[in-house]
Amino acid sequence: MAKHIFVTGGVVSSLGKGLTCASIGMLLEQRGLRVRLQKFDPYINVDPGTMSPYQHGEVYVLDDGAETDLDLGHYERFTHVPLTRDCNYTTGKIYLSVIQKEREGRYYEGKTVQVIPHVTDEIKDAIHRLATDDVDVVITEIGGTVGDIEGLPFLEAIRQFAIDVGRENCLYIHLTLVPYLKAAAELKTKPTQHSVGALRQIGIQPDVLICRTEHPIPADEKDKIALFCNVDRKAVIEERDRQFSIYEVPLSLVNHGLDEILVKRLHLKADPLELTEWRDMVERIKNPKHELRIAVVGKYMKHRDAYKSVYEALDHAGISNHARVLVVRVEAEEVESRGAEAMLGGMDGILVPGGFGMRGIGGKIEAIRFARTHNIPYFGICLGMQCAVIEFARDVLGLEDANSTEFDQTTEHPVIWLMPAQQSVRERGGTMRLGAWPCVLATEGFARSAYGVDQINERHRHRYEFNNAYRRDFEDNGLIATGTSPDGEIVEIVELNDHPWFVAVQFHPEFQSKPTKAHPLFREFVAASLRHRTDGRPGTGVELEARSVASQG
């Protein structure tokens, strides 16, 4: 029977609960256990697919087409756990199911449908769904912070869960903040005490406390936390802010004995911990041999999580190239107003990520033109591919008003247009071309040599596509389709045949990159950018942000 770990958060949001869950998953996996990971989000949207990136950050897409919370990206980067749409439930998704059952009229046998037991049962079913016979541990992360009204049904459900399956089969971890007060020169444990107090009021006694802190927690403060929170002293785990990288988190948890506590407390039959590959990877992050600058030109640059997986995949590519990637975040609209040379001069590579809507398109197109005409490695992703096609059509094919019908429905040259299957779609939620689709690679080109195979599977999230009526014209002039759907109908990859490295893809390769195994296209893009790198470049007027190895979490 599967064991269960529930992870809640207290005091403040953004403590890195997703990273902690991913780290725990990784540690258990590296002890030979079969793990599943799942996140509950207390908001009412059925999934994050309809939310603005400003609200929510990136929408993370799974193989099965589920549009999910970006914490699932951490799960996939840290572990090999299979993820499906059963791994992310929102309040909206739970209620939708309850309401559909009620409308069908059979399930609830005429009863009044209520939060307890019907909504909590629905939540518990979602947990059970992952606990199949071939699984040792299910880790369930509860989004939000203890004390939020909207999180209550989830907390109640995980409380009941231990009664259903036995308390000995469940373990509750609470992640809290132990803030440092400068004026008092002290770490403060009171917020943790209050947060655990709130949990206990609901009926949940945490077994393990993970305390986020900027400074080491002295022994007597740990004693205090243990005493007031009724938690075993050894189970008060310190999680210090990372110095170099988020990928250090599991190593620091091991140093504080977390994996052993979990294994003992849940009576798991586990192997010794195997972390050689992970430690090697972290060493590489700490000791890069090169440094390079990649401009990411997009429109949600101020939100640090809007292109989360792209930034992570660039880091991974850096790791595999022994390089530290300095990501320079460039607002596309600023490229329009200040010009490409001012914003992008001196960059070693340029990447335009996915996106929606008209704002900033001109700047993205200018950035791509700059990369194309200055032989700077270019990597276009989804909208970044569509813009590359528009740019080439306008400048090389001479189709001046070439456009995507997303931005101009009356353009004479719709080089990007709505996919036929999308034409009748009216509802916005979950209706794009989503999830993993096969793509056949041409025998030559950058993509083929990066992947080294003739067929790939990549994840998608788009409504518009390359218009095949123009394919011949593009190819005759040097922009070649080097990847298509197996029937040849959907162009998935285009590349320039006379450029150091210019690849643009309709899919989202960033969702399949790991720190221990960079995605081939990211790896080769960074390798090409390293080759392009010249020393003593002129200043760019763009603030450098050395986020590559440190600041994300």
Active site residue 508: yes
Q: Which tokens go with 374? A: 């200055």
CB of 490 to ligand GLN, least distance (A): 12
Please tell me whether residue 355 binds ligand GLN under the rule CB under 6 A: yes
Q: Which of 93, 463, 471, 519 binds ligand GLN (CB under 6 A)?
A: 463
Q: Which residues between 442 and 461 bind ligand GLN (CB under 6 A)?
A: 461
Cβ 393 vs Cβ 372: under 8 Å? no
532 is catalytic: no
Site membership for ligand GLN, residue 49 (CB under 6 A): no
Told to check if 510 binds ligand GLN by CB under 6 A, we report no
| Catalytic residue selected from 74, 118, 174, 508 | 508
Q: Is 315 in the site for ligand GLN (CB under 6 A)?
A: no
367 vs 378: CA distance, rounded Å: 9
Residue in the shown chain whose Cβ atom is closest to ligand GLN: 354
As a whole number of angstroms, the distance between CA 216 and CA 71 comes to 26
Cα–Cα distance measured from residue 495 to residue 497, given in angstroms and rounded to the nearest whole number = 6
Minimum CB distance to ligand GLN, residue 462 (Å): 3
Query: Per the structure block, which two tokens stand in for 338?
Result: 């200040």
Site for ligand GLN in 464-493 (CB under 6 A): 464
The reply to whether omega before 117 is within 30° of 0 (cis) is: yes
Least gap, CB of 217 to ligand GLN (angstroms): 43
Smallest gap from residue 47 Cβ to ligand GLN (A)? 15
| 294, β-bridge pairs | 327, 349
Catalytic residue (one of 238, 248, 510, 524): 510
Within 369-408, which residues bind ligand GLN (CB under 6 A)? 382-383, 386, 406
**What Å distances lie between residue 402 and 120, 243, 398, 469, CA to CA?**
53, 48, 9, 13
Other beta carbons within 10 angstroms of residue 438's beta carbon come to 11
Residue 4 or 463 with smaller CB distance to ligand GLN: 463
Q: Which residues contact 484 (CB under 8 A, 6 or more apart)?
A: 439, 440, 490, 491, 492, 493
Choosing from 21, 211, 382, 439, which is the catalytic residue?
382
Helix (H) or strand (E) holding 316: helix 308-320
Give 8 or 309: the residue with its C-beta nearer to ligand GLN: 309
Nearest distance in Å: CB 388, ligand GLN: 12
- Given 95, 228, 356, 407, the residue binding ligand GLN (CB under 6 A): 356
User: Could you confirm whether 366 is annotated as catalytic?
Assistant: no
Note whether 348 and 292 are within 8 A (CB): yes
Q: Is 354 in the site for ligand GLN (CB under 6 A)?
A: yes
DSSP states of 95-127:
HHHHHHHHHHTSTTTTPPP-IIIIIHHHHHHHH
Segment interacting with ligand GLN, rule: CB under 6 A, options 183-191, 316-324, 349-357, 442-450? 349-357
Q: Is 11 left (phi over 0), alpha (psi -120 to 50) or beta?
A: left
Instruction: Show the tokens assigned to 191.
Output: 């917020």
| Catalytic residue IDs | 382, 508, 510
Q: Which residues bind ligand GLN (CB under 6 A)?
A: 354-356, 382-383, 386, 406, 461-464
